[in-house]
Structure 1
Amino acid sequence: MAASDDAEQQLAAFLAKYSPEIAEQGRAAVDRLAVRLPWADRLVYDNYNALAVGFGPGERPSDAIFSIALFPKWVTLFFLKGAALPDPDGLLEGKGSTVRSIRLIDGAPDLERPDVQAMIDLALASEGQPADPVRKGRLVIKSISAKQRPRKPA
């Protein structure tokens, strides 16, 4: 079995901890962003609070541009350097010094909204050319927390 097959199986097991609705929304969002960013490595963190899949030009977490995070009741698209992006329409949520987000109410279809696509384009443009456009990104399991909050709502 190839390493990528093993990582796909692990990701499927992480997703299975969620309700079917959240798992489906999360998987669809990750898949949709992977199609949009075929050069990006997908970095998986099964953390204490959430399952997060980062997207960036390599395996260094600091180089990631986006992440999709699954929580028990929703899925969120994070712009990991979103605080530096212009947002005249107030699409991005958050007040931290670096990260901004968009809660994906409708899952992956929200990623296709023109305003969300424009923000993704803006984030990519702000990175310059983040990766070799012909490079095929990899799925990498970066960490699995031994202790985790419940993945399904109480």
Structure 2
Amino acid sequence: MTEQQQLDGFIDKFTPEVAAQARRALAMVKARLPGATVMVYDNYNALAIGFGATDKVGSIVCSIALYPRWVSLFLTHGPTLPDPAGLLEGDGETVRHIKLTGNRLDDPAIWVLLDAAASVALPIDPAGEERLIIKSISAKQRPRRP
């Protein structure tokens, strides 16, 4: 089984609505961050898919996390990003997130924030080849559907 087949299987555990929103978000982030290394963590609470310059957690620019009822976009350097639209949620010291509910992926302010996060992170070589790496799979997981 390939890494892409594994990732597809992880996503398929969620409701069709969450899976569709996640696949759309993944396609949009991949288009925005060509050449990124994609790291997959099938964790206890959520399926997290990070995008970075290398296979190290410290290089992650953003990640998409799937929960039973929604998908979120997490942005590294979130507290320092300009957010005039007030989209970022959370109070973490490093990361903030946006719940991708409804048509939120169509909001250009999200992509401005992603570009800002990418501009202060370790640079991703756009000419590089995308790599998909399954970093971890938790033996015990919360249900993926409500």
TM-score by length of 2: 0.93
**Partner of 2:8 in structure 1?**
12
**Which of 133, 136, 146 is equivalent to 2:129?**
136
| Percent identical residues | 50
Q: Is 2:123 the counterpart of 1:145?
A: no
Output one character per residue of 1:61-105: Cα deviation in whole Å (capped at 9) or x when no partner: 111010000000000000022112122332211111111011001
C-alpha distance in 2 between matches for 1:89 and 1:10: 36
Deviates more, 1:116-125 or 1:53-62: 116-125
> Which residue identity lines up with residue 118 of structure 2 in the other structure?
L
Give the unaligned 5+ runs of structure 1. none
Aligned counterparts, 1:39-50, within 5 A: 39-50=35-46
Find runs of 4+ consecutive structure 1 residues off by over 4 angstroms: none
Offset at 1:31?
1.7
- Mind listing any 5+ residue stretches in structure 2 that lack a counterpart? none
TM-fit CA distance, 1:118: 1.1
Q: Provide the secondary structure at the position in 1 that maps to 2:109.
A: helix
Residue 68 of structure 2, aligned match among 66, 72, 75: 72
Does structure 1 retain, via aligned residues, the 8 Å contact 2:36–2:125? no
Partner of 2:84: 88
SS across alignment from 1:38: coil
For the aligned residues, what is the CA RMSD?
1.4
- Length-normalised TM-score, structure 1: 0.89
- Offset at residue 117 of structure 1 (A): 1.4
User: 1:16: Cα distance to partner?
Assistant: 1.2
- 1:51 maps to a residue whose letter is L
Q: Distance in 2 between matches of 1:65 and 1:133?
A: 14
Q: SS state of the match for residue 65, structure 1?
A: strand
Q: 2:118 aligns with which of 121, 124, 127?
A: 124
Q: Tell me how far 1:42 sits from its aligned partner.
A: 0.7
Counting strand residues as a fraction of each chain, which structure ranks higher?
Answer: 2
